[in-house]
Amino acid sequence: MYKYVVKRLLFTIPVLIGVTFIVFTIMALTPGDPGRMILGQAAKQEAVAQLNHELGYDRPFFTRFFEYLKDIVTKLDFGESYRTRKPVFDEIWAKFPHTFKLAVFSIIFSSLIGVSLGILSAVKQYTFIDTFSTVMAMFFAAIPGFWLGMMLIYFFSLRFGLLPSSGIDSWQGFILPIVTLTLSGSASLLRLTRSTMLETIRADYIRTARAKGATQKIVIWRHALKNALLPVITVLGMQFGGLLGGAVITESVFAIPGLGNHIVSAIRQKDVPVVMAGSLFLAALFCLVMLAVDLLYAFIDPRIKAKYSR
């Protein structure tokens, strides 16, 4: 197991290098330059060129790229924001807790609702519960996140005045964004859990367990659920990794100062160090989340654990 973990962590290094090169290239190819973005369109070209020179943006692409890698490897220096002139991770650490809270609560409620209703729909196949759950799952999966968020703001904030429409000054500010993310996330989990449970409960070993006299409760919770949960855990891990990257649309709709919103703003402003540091941070987090998912497989399925131990 330890060898597997070390091997996966080592594989993360080329992934991060690849992410660094791709994001750095995209930022270099996009039109505009930081000097013009900072000083504005009315600034003289001489002032813009001077600022770009101070920021080192006028140097050749590969010179800037390899110097950036060198600073990371030798000094763990990810640079300073072009606009604020502060270390980029000072800003990331200030923004990330908001996104992390949003992601954690959203994934918890999504898994509780989606997995539970998916199991119930599979057990009660073709009943009213199954039909209603499936229709609602398709409905919420088809609704765009920004539209759902705006409808929640309209009804619960503007019309009834129950919850704040934007910001996270109190815990009530998290309710509408979490509901927005939970409804869409639980919809996909419900459909996936239902399909995997239906496939599992039709397997031969489930028929054998029933033939031996096992009750429906034991068949579902002890025999079928473990195998049906493996693909669900994969999707949960991917959803959680995506939420840690910042639910940009949701953060924008509810004016949440999260990491995703911060990176999008940095892209618009051509703030390359912020975009690079944020992308690397999120890529590393996603790799760790998927590693945790693979390790969780081992605790659910002993056969997978035996493979990891080799």
Tokens of 113: 């609702």
Beta-carbon neighbour count of residue 210 at 10 Å?
15
CATH of domain 88-308: 1.10.3720.10
- Cα 273 from Cα 77, distance rounded (Å): 10
List of the chain residues with pLDDT < 70? 1, 246, 301-310
Integer-rounded Cα Rg, in Å, for the chain is 24
Q: What is the pLDDT of residue 308?
A: 58
DSSP string over 139-171: HHHHS-HHHHHHHHIIIIIIIS--S-SS--SSG
Q: Give the C-alpha separation, 221 to 205, whole Å.
A: 14
Query: Please, where in the chain does CATH 1.10.3720.10 lie?
Result: 88-308
Kindly list the distances between the CA atom of residue 87 and the CA atoms of 12, 92, 93, 277, in Å, as whole numbers in the listed order: 24, 9, 11, 10
| Sign of the dihedral through C-alpha 115, 119, 122, 126 | negative
SS3 124: coil
Amino acid found at 295: L
How many residues does the structure list for the chain?
310
Place of tokens 């539970």: 116
| SS3 assignment, position 310 | coil
Which pTM value belongs to this model?
0.83
Rounded to 10 degrees, the C-alpha dihedral 233/236/237/240 comes to: -160
Residue 86 CA to residue 101 CA, distance in Å, equals: 24
Residue 103 and residue 247: Cα distance in Å, rounded? Answer: 8
Distant-in-sequence, close-in-space partners of 139: CB < 8 Å, separation ≥ 6: 187
HEC profile of 53-94: HHHCCCCCHHHHHHHHHHHHHHHCCCCECCCCCCEHHHHHHH
Residue 161's contacts (CB-CB under 8 Å, 6 or more residues apart) are: none
Q: For position 190, what pLDDT does the model report?
A: 92
Q: Which residues pair with 87 in a beta bridge?
A: 80
Q: Rounded distance, CA 126 to CA 119, Å? A: 13
